[in-house]
Amino acid sequence: MKTLPQISEAEFEVMKVIWKHAPISTNEITDKLTQTTKWSPKTIQTLIKRLVTKGALTYEKQSRVFVYTPLIEEREYIGQESHSFLERYYNGDITAMLSAYIEDDRLSESEIDTLYSLLHKEAKRGD
């Protein structure tokens, strides 16, 4: 598995917009994020520049507009972060993590049913 860039919480918010709407211009990113955050356009532009520097984004100049596309996939990044979280807080033991969530009522019945279905489906695939 390749090592992906470290992305801050704020940068992750920018990436979520880009993953959802790519290819997307600077103005479109700014418009979407000013609706959901209190960030200034300058702050958003700084976050975009950081993501380009980190290798998470690429851009293309189309006439006078910069258009951005991700260089990393959302699923790949979230998978890496989930793995890091699991290692850091639960020593890689997913059973311990799920037990903690279930015992603290952080999972709804619906979420537990979904997990059960996923595990059951995976068990059948392994047969």
What pLDDT, in 10s, does the model give residues 74-83?
999 998 888 8
Cβ-based neighbours of 60, under 8 Å, separated by 6 or more: 23, 66, 67, 69
* Total-model pTM: 0.76
Q: Which of helix, strand or coil describes residue 67?
A: strand
pLDDT of residue 61: 97
Residues in the chain, pLDDT under 50: none
Output the six-digit token pair for 70: 């991700």
Per-residue model confidence (pLDDT) at position 83: 85
Query: Which residue's entry shows tokens 């700084």?
Result: 46
